[in-house]
Structure 1
Amino acid sequence: MNGADVVRRLSELPTPNIGDAMERLNVVDGAIASVWPGARMAGRAFTVYVAGGDNLGIHEAIPQLSVGDVLVVNGQGATHRALIGELIAGRAAVQGCAGFVLDAAVRDVRDLQEMGFPVFARSTTPAGPYRNGPFRVGEPVAIGSVVVRPGDVIIGDDDGVVVVPWEEAAAVAEAAEAKRDSEAHQRAEIEDRILPGHWQPS
């Protein structure tokens, strides 16, 4: 199975099933969430580490993105300055970027939603960033208490973000699919026991 197939399989699964398949590990801090409802993304991590409130590294990273990449930014959890907005997101979308995950703040939420560009962040603020550095590109980073290495698979949906180590991705996809199918079976059994407007006595 090639890498694109693994990412596709994971992209079709809910993040809770993927998290369960990893024994509830590699689930990003719940404070990092979609900035607009219904956003969903899946792709391989392109990592950036920046100083809090400074986005010089993001500007340097955007031209290096490949189709399907998710830009993952350790912004040191700083929320006093937004690291990205709709202009940077637009440039990334042109590169084929699948979305952003930032342990930091963002802005231009309505514009991002209208673009349909998935962004998961710790906070929002109208305050713009500095652009002085320092930064690191393409190294392991930490976001929401989870280590992300370049090439790991990132999946985000309304429940949050999970990180799948690349070498485990195929096995996690298989386990998560089994979890999804088991839950679907349980759900069907419950629905069969429900009368309209009532729980059927057991």
Structure 2
Amino acid sequence: MSEQDRHIRDLAGTLPVANIGDAMERLNVVDSGIRPMWPGARLVGRAFTVMTAGGDNKAIHEALDHAGPGDVLVINGQGATHRALIGELIAGRAAAQGVVGFVIDGAIRDVRDLEEMRFPVFARAVTPAGPYRNGPGYHQKPVALGGVVVNPGDLVVADDDGVAVVPRDAEADVLARAVAKHEQELAQRDGVPAPSGI
């Protein structure tokens, strides 16, 4: 990881997702149906994209053969909620590889275990039913997730409010505006007049 990339991630980690969304004119914020699976979950990382058939996690296993430190698996599971795409075993494998979390348009299971692991997962639903493993699917191509197009390498930031995706070529500008917005809100909260024009 380059020093610039480390700086970007560290900076993003200090900012509320709401401010990042505001800095993108409220665009690139994932559908609110995709939410944290345990309170206080937070992640910052680079999108490692996955497309899979609903209820099937073969493509996720294949993606984990290639994903690495600092990656967030961003998984289009077709919004299917009848089968869990991941649970504690896949999360444990991912964490051991340095993957920092999952964002899934689909269902998961083993929520209590994920919380105990402190492994951040944002998903559409929870079900005890396990997945199929037949395919098809692919990874590291653009995917749509919760109304947002996500490209490999985009910056993914998520907290209790939800998930924002920052296009890589815009991240420095977006984060600068998010910092200004955050400082403005802190000043307003503390009763200090904020600079105009933010």
State whether TM-score is above 0.5: yes
Cα offset, 1:116, TM superposition = 0.3
Pick one of 3, 6, 13 that aligns with 1:4: 6
Q: Does the 8 Å contact 1:68/1:96 carry over to 2?
A: yes
Match of 2:162 in 1: 160
Question: Which secondary structure does the structure 2 equivalent of 1:6 belong to?
Answer: helix
Q: Does the 8 Å contact 1:63/1:95 carry over to 2?
A: no
Unaligned runs of 5+ in 1: 191-202
Cα root mean square deviation, aligned: 0.9
Cα offset, 1:102, TM superposition = 0.2
Match of 1:105 in 2: 107
Question: Which secondary structure does the structure 1 equivalent of 2:79 belong to?
Answer: coil
Asked if 1:177 corresponds to 2:197, the answer is no
Question: Which secondary structure does the structure 1 equivalent of 2:22 belong to?
Answer: helix
Match of 2:123 in 1: 121
Unaligned runs of 5+ in 2: 193-198
Deviations 1:42-100 (A, max 9, x none): 00000000000000000011121111100000000000000000000000000000100
Match of 2:195 in 1: none
Equivalent residues in 2 for 1:18-167, closer than 5 Å: 18-167=20-169
Q: Percent identity?
A: 62
With normalisation by structure 2, the TM-score equals 0.94
Separation of aligned partners in 1, 2:7 and 2:168: 13
Deviations 1:105-157 (A, max 9, x none): 00000000000000000000000000000001110001101000000000110
Match of 1:187 in 2: 189
Separation of aligned partners in 1, 2:128 and 2:68: 29
Separation of aligned partners in 1, 2:63 and 2:14: 27
Separation of aligned partners in 2, 1:172 and 1:8: 14
Q: Does the 8 Å contact 1:82/1:124 carry over to 2?
A: yes
Cα offset, 1:11, TM superposition = 1.4
Separation of aligned partners in 2, 1:25 and 1:80: 29
State the 4+ residue runs in structure 1 displaced beyond 4 angstroms. none
Separation of aligned partners in 2, 1:79 and 1:65: 24
Aligned length: 190
With normalisation by structure 1, the TM-score equals 0.93
Choose 1 or 2 for highest CA Rg.
1
Separation of aligned partners in 1, 2:176 and 2:184: 12
